[in-house]
Amino acid sequence: MSFAVLLFAATYLLMLVLPNHRLPVVLGSAAIFLCTGMLPLAKAAASIDWNVLLMIAGTMGLVALLRESRVPALLADLILERVPNVKWAIIALSLFAGLISAFIDNVATVLMVAPIALAIAKKLDLDPVGMIIAIAVSSNLQGAATLVGDATSILLGGYAGMSFGDFFVYQGKPGIFFAVELGALLAASLLLVLFRRETARITPGPRTQVTDWVPAALMLAMVLLLIAASFVPQKPAVTNGMLCLALLAVGLLHRAGQRRSLRSALGILKEIDLTTLGLLLGLFLVVGGITEMGVVEAIGQLLAALSGGDLFLIYTVIVWASVLCSAFIDNIPYVAAMLPVVRSIAAALGANPALLYFGLLSGATLGGNLTPVGASANITGIGILRREGCVVKNRDFLRIGVPFTLAAVLPAYLYFWVFYGL
């Protein structure tokens, strides 16, 4: 067990020290677990959540098709036609980004909405830094609201066997969706205060012309099919993943027919982030290895013992430790590693694991808003600003990110304890 613990710790340390080489680090660690027999080859495939990998791949492809269709840009234009000034434009764009991000990838959301904010800023001769940061942090916030909103949500759904509907109502109680929306309302109120001086008026321009409505229909179909599949008993474990891939295949065939080019359709597949998929696959094997060696169970029992059997204490530690960890490291490997630990802690305390699952997910997802490097959406937004020649200082981000994070996490923290802890 000692070697497994050291290898697992070394894997995470190297991922922190070598952020550009996470994939070879994780795959190398997984190979060691397999070659040493700590994870038997016969159990390797079972330790990989194929449904999660397929869902993420299919969703990434559909997002790429949707972004090219320009439907999100049109929706943003319609919103801007109804706001009186820049302050309300920032709030509207932030809420709109959050709405989109509840169903598609956070980075894709920023790429869709940021150009609208930049156009407003140029037209009115404004500094776009605050606008883009507000859009990025709002995208991160809503990623935890639904099963398909973020890779971490997909991870939780696959690990805990949660359906799309379970994010809304779980065990007969309001699910994580409403906790996220509660935080979103408080965070939006905070943005009104932060941008209270942005009162320049907006004159709407011409509406964006949509090039193709089919990707939007496919995204809607994905959501509806995932909801329907959640009511099907004894379905295959990879059902959701196969649904997402099937819809992506329909989208690719439509694109090939529309452009009369198979190469153009296959070009969309380049938008699927193979690095993220490879990272998750390797992490599934690493976590499978430490689970097989009894490490996860031992960690859970240790934390349960240190808490003195106090569920509120261990819940508090999980939420706020997740916030702090996700401020500096990628929340995908963190959540993948912590899910089995959380389940082990709940079992040791005889507690409802839903409390700790939701606490982990909310803390890890929202904690990324604490720093400029805490989430991919933040990095993407800052990259867009730098390409526009804008100087983004840490204090510019922290001025919005820190209070936004606290405003979003605190109500969710109390919400989960009231519904799942008491």
Mean pLDDT by 10 residues, the chain (422 residues): 83 75 87 89 83 79 81 74 84 85 75 76 79 89 82 84 88 92 89 86 79 88 77 77 90 86 79 77 83 73 74 90 76 79 86 91 86 74 80 84 90 94 82
What confidence score (pLDDT) does residue 276 get?
A: 72
Q: Rounded to whole angstroms, how far apart are CA atoms 379 and 78?
A: 27
What confidence score (pLDDT) does residue 329 get?
A: 64
Numbers of helices and strands, H then E, in the chain: 20, 2
Are the C-beta atoms of residues 208 and 78 closer than 8 Å to each other?
no
What confidence score (pLDDT) does residue 296 get?
A: 65
Three-state DSSP at 85 gives strand
The crossing angle, in degrees rounded to 10, of helices 151-160 and 50-69 is 150
What confidence score (pLDDT) does residue 270 get?
A: 80
What confidence score (pLDDT) does residue 74 get?
A: 78
Please tell me what DSSP assigns to residue 417: I
List all residues 6 or more positions away from 310 whose beta carbon is below 8 Å from its beta carbon.
none
What confidence score (pLDDT) does residue 297 get?
A: 67
Listed residue (164, 169, 122) closest to 147, CA to CA: 164
What confidence score (pLDDT) does residue 73 get?
A: 74
Place of tokens 């153009």: 264
What confidence score (pLDDT) does residue 174 get?
A: 94
What confidence score (pLDDT) does residue 416 get?
A: 94
Q: Please state the pTM of the whole predicted model.
A: 0.71
CA atoms within 13 A on the CB side of 370: 20
Q: Rounded to whole angstroms, how far apart are CA atoms 173 and 326?
A: 27
Three-state DSSP at 71 gives helix
Strand partners of residue 170? 173
List all residues 6 or more positions away from 126 whose beta carbon is below 8 Å from its beta carbon.
86, 120, 198, 200
What confidence score (pLDDT) does residue 16 get?
A: 67
What confidence score (pLDDT) does residue 328 get?
A: 67
